[in-house]
Structure 1
Amino acid sequence: MMSRNRRMRDLDSNPCLEETDASTKCMDDNRYEKDLCTPYFVKYKNCRKFWNGIMVTRRREGTVPYMPTAEERKHILESMKSLPY
């Protein structure tokens, strides 16, 4: 079983890895002044909300795995033409 830290760095487990990294970088660059990073936090929150909705739908439909793989997520986003978050 993967450790939590390793799992959160895995693209198949964390659909919002890019947003996570951007938020962390913003905090580092701005000496942890949260107000300066609000747009990054909002984007991360919207990303999590979007993929959680996908996960809930897949669970309800009996689709396994509940979280689409990184490759599946790429196709989902490409089919949408623009980022939903």
Structure 2
Amino acid sequence: MSTPSPSNSPQDNVKPADYKVIFAARQSYTQHTDPCEQAAKASLTCMDRNDYNRDNCMDFFQAYRDCKKAWLEQRREDRRAGRPTPV
């Protein structure tokens, strides 16, 4: 499965991909499927561009944290509502 290249703007990565679609598309079971993969890649790309100066990439790190938080909250809400969630 190919993924688009990371964005140059951290705000483009705040919203997680639909985790149900991501999980359904995987070919085998893995607990490491991450709907926030784009945000993670954008963070690493920022670190590469800035010679691993973490201070220059704080917006990208925050975007990843926000994405992860939104994803986990979405899963919690689905479980509370009794909607089926992928394994």
- Give TM-score, length-normalised by structure 1: 0.60
The match for 1:48 among 68, 71, 74 is 68
- Aligned: 1:25 with 2:28: no
2:79 & 2:86 partners in 1: Cα distance?
A: 5
Matched residue SS, 2:39: helix
**Would the aligned equivalents of 1:58 and 1:64 in 2 still touch at CA under 8 Å?**
yes
Structure 1 unaligned blocks of 5 or more = 8-12, 68-85
Counterpart of 1:64? 84
Could you list the runs of 4 or more consecutive aligned residues of structure 1 that deviate by over 3 angstroms after TM superposition? 1-4
Compute the displacement of 1:29 (Å): 1.4
| Pairs aligned (count) | 60
1:14 & 1:60 partners in 2: Cα distance?
A: 21
The residue identity in structure 1 corresponding to 2:40 is T
2:69 & 2:76 partners in 1: Cα distance?
A: 10
Matched residue SS, 1:46: helix
Compute the displacement of 1:28 (Å): 1.3
